[in-house]
Chain A
Amino acid sequence: MYAQLVKTAGSGVKSREEMSENEQDFQNRVDADQKIEPKDWMPDDYRATLIRQIGQHAHSEIVGQLPEGNWITRAPTLERKAILLAKVQDEAGHGLYLYCAAETLGVTRDELTEELLSGRMKYSSIFNYPTLNWADIGAVGWLVDGAAIMNQVPLQRTSYGPYSRAMIRICKEESFHQRQGYDIMMKMAQGTDAQKKMAQDALNRLWYPSLMMFGPSDKDSVHSAQSLAWKIKIDTNDELRQRFVDQTVPQAKYLGLTIPDENLKWNEERGAHDYSDPNWSEFFDVIKGNGPCNTDRMNTRIKAWEDGAWVREGLMAHADKKAARKQAMTAAE
């Protein structure tokens, strides 16, 4: 997932009469569930919105390595360390597919990176929360990847071909991650008193930030209609959040953990759980840069990028030399 509050470009959904012929043809294809491919005509606003959405998702995969990397060197067993390494490697791979998908829209990975590092583009708010005990690594897999899957499964059907195909690959790996996360939680919840305490502590801290991952409530989500019409968003924020709550409640119960919400209860009439909204002012604070880890995360990424400049330059210079030598050899033959 990892795309929240993506501002949809344009001035809202146009009626058929307001659309140009190209726009009408485009919308007809989207309505008929045909994929839009990079060389096809597309509205500028569609392109701009997709770049923001895919870029934000890619950035989230990259920054998302950090809270998990925080525990790789402290993983309690060799197997757990290997699983976590494999997961973080998958996430970097997801970032790579997504940057590639964004590149088909005419923006480079370096340009997107600059946007991230300058703060003009965002990543998911969830990664601005810390991972404080080992159960957090379980909870990140269970809740954060769980929430991500909830959003990404429908996006496999999104209208833009390269994005849809990236989502299909990503979803396969994410569901694996979620199962591994849940497995950590099981071990912790069935473990010693200290481990149970870690598990509950992780759930207490990560529950509401996980609910925030779906973005603001539909009534406050002004940009959704156009993105829904373009099928770059398939379900509304509240629909996805509800589905996530309904899926997660029995899982928490099975673990013997308590979701930190006194208002959480099954509503027979709605056939769904009633639950408390997260604190939206906290959410907007995090988005503005005031989350517990925003500064650390950005400084870490900026430092990595700056420290790595000589490596990127060195490897480029070598590639150029190699190409020049090859050319000289061909010329001499």
Chain B
Amino acid sequence: MQDQDALFQFLLRMGDNTLVLGHRVSEWCGVSPVLEEDIALANTALDMIGQTQFWLGLAGEVEGKGRTADDLAFLRDVWDFRNVLLVELPNGDFGQTLMRQFLFDAWASIMLGHLMTSTDKRVADIAEKASKEVAYHVERSAGTVVGLGDGTPESHAKMQAALDLLYPYVGELFESDDVDAAMVSAGIAPDPASLRDAYDALIERVLTEATLTVPASKFTHKGGRTGYMHTEHLGHMLTQMQWLQRAYPGATW
């Protein structure tokens, strides 16, 4: 694989994760359980969309075909998306949304920490900016997971159910392939598999405090970050997200 192709794929993976999760979080607008959460969810979504602009902007630049971040976000079909399956899953209830956020934030905080020392300065710069936001996201999502896990019997049961549902999607974050090998050899990004121990330690600490049990099976669904097989949910999300750009091609908004 050419280095530029691999870098492009890597940047799509980073940008599509934040794009898709940012979109999912934005679906909560105005209907969260409490006003402070409306503010926090909008803020989280906003940060993630901001990060998307950087990652996909750089992806377009690296690709060299003149595509902008918007072109990549709004004019690709499902099979060209490179996000992990975890982030495209529907929101479910508030607990499920926050559990998904925590499982992602924990990974992002570790990944971005490594990317800050990337040999590619553009990558390192984005990581540095994003890591400040993600440090806050993970603190908040971890705090909420603990609060609800160790809350009432009802909230505990819902959080355990959310963890059981989502945990089989976590492993995909640590899959490695040719793209990752190329990133490692160029010193641009770490091998995803190498982040797993730190991740397990982080989530173990939080989930224990939340009185929740990590499922024993390490089975993982995958197919998102390679684009081989997304869930059925992504297509529906894109029909909504991309609708104006698709219905009125060439317009400036």
Contact = CB atoms under 8 A, between A and B. Distances in A.
- The dominant DSSP class at the A interface is helix
Nearest to A194: B248
The 8 nearest A-B residue pairs measured at CB: A308-B33, A314-B155, A314-B151, A69-B29, A65-B30, A89-B42, A311-B33, A304-B31
B231 interface: no
B27 interface: yes
A2 interface: no
Given A76-B244, A312-B33, A317 B39 contact: no
Please classify how large the interface on chain A is, using the bins under 10, 10 to 19, 20 to 34, 35 or more. Answer: 35 or more
Contact of A99 (B35, B52, B70, B95): B35
Please classify how large the interface on chain B is, using the bins under 10, 10 to 19, 20 to 34, 35 or more. Answer: 35 or more
Interface string B220-253: 0000000000000000000011011100101111
B148 interface: yes
B253 A77 contact: yes
Contacts of B35: 62, 92, 95-96, 99, 109
A192 interface: yes
B212 interface: no
A258 interface: no
Given A77-B74, A308-B94, A92 B33 contact: no
14 contacts: A65-B30, A69-B30, A72-B27, A73-B26, A74-B240, A74-B243, A79-B53, A85-B29, A95-B35, A134-B244, A311-B37, A312-B33, A312-B34, A315-B151
A89 B44 CA distance: 10
Interface of B: 19, 23, 26-27, 29-39, 42-43, 45-46, 49-50, 52-53, 56, 69-70, 73-74, 93-95, 144, 146-148, 150-152, 154-156, 158, 240-241, 243-245, 248, 250-253
A132 to B, nearest CB: 13
Contacts of B148: 311, 314-315, 318
B46 A314 contact: no
